[in-house]
Structure 1
């Protein structure tokens, strides 16, 4: 009994550390956008230049995420996570000192490289450190930290920026990252990854790259691509769709999307407990996402105009999408070979960067053409496609394992 209690406490500490690291990953992603109004006002940068800063950060993160996964499996998740935290924190602090736009682009690029390590390193540590009976809840805490980072950054940072200045605000945010880096270093012995620390050494790089090009992994990559297209499209352009569709104020529209995000946070918590209690995570993911996608279709199909209906449906969608988070991670865990969590999670999760980039183009086109209802239809379609893909990924993985066992 005492051993079980100690094990649970150790797991909670690891979950908390990784959740806190993921909080700063998402917090830093929105640090610059939150302060764009002040940078536009005081630095004379236009909105295209400001948008390019975020684009560079996300592009660097997306491109480097798979190589970061190989780095995790080769040199260990602890080292990789520490390097990533230091890179992002130093890049943020650097904005206090630079004067030229070129220097800002360079710092955004460095921050993106640092951000690329979190998914492969975090999931390698969680898979290696947490008892299998609590791994779903560990994934839940990981998601929870990220969503809290997203939701807290805009208001907190912009408020600070008005008081102390945008440069000083970014600097203090970076200092917070250094504090968390120190915490991770202090507790590094507790953070056991599922590769090197388990005695599993990677094969030669050519063989590893070839092993990554499996049908099941490609399907998982596409799953994250389509899911990100829908979720990010709703998060970034859902408010614009509401404004066009039912002529509400921007405050009400943005408030509705914020409520959806709050629903997602609560859903993530529930999803962790569900993930630890079901065996077919692919089926459960498919069921939850399908219900969420169907609920969205009520808005354009029935041409609802009451704001209460929109709020209710979007909150339900947010909760269901949150529940799906830990479940989908369990699917990726199930198809990942021993010692390959870094590269597999890095590769598959890079699909989110691709989907995020595509969502703005596709759903922005719908708003530009004055057909806001297609935003909700489009989000539903991407979710339905994602459901089909995740079921195919699990089936392909079973087939690959059967072939390899012969």
Structure 2
């Protein structure tokens, strides 16, 4: 794929970028609001953390697992319609949550959310990679919007819960999806403006004279779809793409392992600012609900917006394998130093947390652009389906690993062990550069 050399985005670039930015922000607004609501559900429904955690894990798991079939659908039907389905499904899932009467209905609602949300990343990233000439800049803005949602979701939910019942809060959270749908219906753009492909997306047309052996049209379509999926997957997994996928998994494992328990970790190092600053009456309901670690967590996630922007811009200026190597290596160092620095006081904690957030999210546009470099334009939906199966599906194991490590060791030992993931990612990024089988 050719990439424009100027820094100016075309009208088509801007239209696509705006569309995916809003949609991406909404996806992560919902994703990170769920942990805040879990605190309420534990009391409301008198369930154990194990049961509720398992219920939420099902939804998060589907968020990753569903990405692969979603990627197949993207290559067949295009991105716009599928993103609309994603937005409508997520909004509907939170409407179901507002009426939840127990753990079973919560689980069902979160399953709807996971299935709907799984559509977005293959569809949105495929759209950027095939429709935006300034692809690196598109990935940068897209990532920044995602980080806005990541930080905005828990912050908005925490603030609303200070004033409203959780059921009304989940109903209010339907509004972002509705607004995104209204914007999407007005957006106009060419999904394939940045690539030159055959009308069928780069695949050879099926032989119309093939003997079906007496099978029905539906059976033929199913057989052809399965055969195409298997053949496309075999063609996709070159040595370079395979190594890139393992790099993506290292990111996913570190991402989920770190962020899942970061609010609890931060609370161990946070001073009692409510008492020191006298923000609320100590006996008031707001003082009881206010958790400074949650707001610090949201702030550190907001810093990731800068990381997304810088990482995306760098993909247009340096080889992505080089960027991955540098960022992964830096993350390994930060993971090892995090606890000793955080123990030095509030200011050092803010600094090391900001560096962690910046580096963690600067990885995303780097690996997204790398996947585009190691996959053909006609298979971008499938390639990003596999990518987010790795990031959110395999990566979900990072939460279990971190939880186990925290249960048997100290916070420092946990972070030091998690550093193995970015260290491995740095080594694999060097290996990836040496494969030399870029396909874009």
TM-score w.r.t. the length of structure 1 is: 0.85
Offset from partner CA, 1:367-405 (integer Å, 9 cap, x none) = 222322122212322101012223334444x3486xxxx
Partner of 2:83: 81
What does the per-residue CA deviation read over 1:19-61, in whole Å, with 9 as the maximum and x for residues that have no partner?
A: 1101111111133322223333444444334323321211112
Is 1:329 the equivalent of 2:372? Answer: no
Is this contact kept in 2: 1:227–1:355, CA < 8 A?
A: no
The residue that corresponds to 1:297 in the other structure is: 336
8 A Cα contact 1:87 1:110, kept in partner: yes
Partner of 2:314: 274
State the distance in 2 between where 1:299 and 1:312 align: 10
- Which residue in 2 is equivalent to 1:182? 182
Post-superposition shift, 1:112?
A: 0.7
- Any idea what SS the aligned residue of 2:255 has? helix
The verdict on how the C-alpha distance between 1:158 and 1:262 changes in structure 2, with shifts beyond 3 A counting, is: closer
Structure 2 partner of 1:21: 23
1:93 equivalent in structure 2: 95
Higher mean C-alpha displacement, 55-64 vs 249-258: 249-258
Q: Residue by residue, what CA displacement relative to the aligned partner does 1:148-204 show, whole Å, maximum 9, x if unpaired?
A: 111111231233234332222222212320221232122154555878986234562
Taking the aligned partners of 2:332 and 2:8, their CA distance within structure 1 comes to 41
| Aligned pair partner of 1:228 in 248, 252, 255 | 252
Give a deviation string over 1:58-98, Cα, whole Å, max 9, x none: 11121111111011001111122121122111121222344
How far apart, in 2, do the equivalents of 1:256 and 1:174 lie?
A: 25
Secondary structure of 1:30's counterpart equals helix
* Structure 2 unaligned blocks of 5 or more: 1-5, 205-227, 274-290
Tell me, yes or no, if the aligned pair for 1:92 and 1:170 is still in contact at 8 Å. Answer: yes
Alignment of 1:305-344 (within 5 A): 305-344=344-383
TM-score with structure 2 setting the length: 0.79
Change (3 A) 1:276 1:194: closer
Larger radius of gyration: 2
Map 1:207-286; keep pairs closer than 5 Å.
207-241=231-265, 257-278=297-318, 280-286=319-325
Greater fraction helix: 1
Asked whether the 8 Å contact 1:56–1:105 carries over to 2, the reply is: yes
Count of residue pairs the alignment pairs up: 394
Q: Does 1:170 align with 2:170?
A: yes
Q: C-alpha offsets along residues 326-361 of structure 1, whole Å, 9 cap, x if unaligned?
A: 222221111011211101011022211245422222
Deviates more, 1:218-227 or 1:6-15: 6-15
Q: Is the 8 A contact 2:244 2:432 kept in 1?
A: yes
Q: Closer, same or farther in 2 for the Cα pair 1:61/1:321, shift >3 Å? A: closer
